Amino acid sequence: MTDAPEKSEKSSDKSPTNLWAELGPTIAFILTYTVMGRFLPEGDGAFTSDAAIFWATGALMASTAVVIVYKLMNKEKIPPMLILSGSVVGFFGVLTIALQQEAFAYIKPTIINSLFAVVLLGGLAVGRNFWKMMLDHAFELPDFAWNTLTLRWGFFFIFLALLNEFLWRYFCPLPESPLTLLGITFVPTEPYTLLGVEFGSRDQESVWAWMKLGNFVIVALFMLANLPYTMKHWEGEKPV
């Protein structure tokens, strides 16, 4: 009888519902962006295609909040990554909509992935393996294997951050006013060239928006690439 709740908790961790909890906000963002960008007229105003990024950001915020509330209502444990990403989504989402500054939406994935990398790699540096803490309930690995996987995922999140920076700076239009912080300009208003590549001269925001879904494919491929190493050192299910 005492084993039932623990088994239920383990099965819920592997439930397809968790997959939709991860994909849902991204799908809401892309659908909102695509529908408003394609079917609404161009021009200024709230109900125009030019405002699609702001509506999509609002949909992302709302759906992320729904996922968190759903987990709380079902007394499910909220993953630390979801708490961190949800906080960043909320903070930069409010800035995007309140200031009508698209650049905040563009750099948000960069900030999220950079924070993930800092947490994982910084944790290792001080002797804390947060990747193990999050996944230790599912299976057991020796410490050296956990450390290797944590290093891989930490650098992978850095790759995702750099990929987002390249995509939005290459495909998205530059804002009308620069985005500066502490006297440093992070997003200029004029096109510029870096390492022989011209940035800021294109107006293909939809490429960056759809790449949010493409990131799931990249993550899935990375997980598959690490599966042989994980299975090699897997010591079996953690005893109850």
Q: What is the CA radius of gyration of the chain?
A: 20
Q: What is the mean pLDDT of residues 63-73?
A: 84
Burial of 196 (0-12, 13-18, 19+ CB in 10 A): exposed
| 8-17, 53-62, 153-162: which is most confident | 153-162
For the ranges 85-89, 112-116, 203-207, 226-230, the lowest mean pLDDT is seen at 85-89
As a whole number of angstroms, the distance between CA 230 and CA 139 comes to 10
C-alpha 160/C-alpha 233 separation (Å) is 26
Average pLDDT over residues 39-46: 68
pLDDT per residue as tens digits for the range 132-157:
877 766 667 888 888 999 999 999 99
Averaged pLDDT score across all residues of the chain:
80
Range among 28-32, 160-164, 172-176, 229-233 rated most confident:
160-164
Cβ atoms of 150 and 126 within 8 Å: the answer is no
Instruction: Give tens-digit pLDDT for 192-213.
Output: 888 888 998 888 888 888 888 8
**Proportion of the chain above pLDDT 90, given as a percent:** 20
Per-residue pLDDT tens over the stretch 2-42: 444 444 444 444 444 565 666 777 788 888 888 877 767 67
Taking a C-beta distance cutoff of 8 angstroms, is the pair 53, 102 a contact?
yes
CA dist 201 and 193 (Å) reads 10
Which band of pLDDT confidence, cut at 50, 70 and 90, is reported for residue 235? low
Higher pLDDT, 99 or 240: 99
| Tokens coding 17 | 């519902």
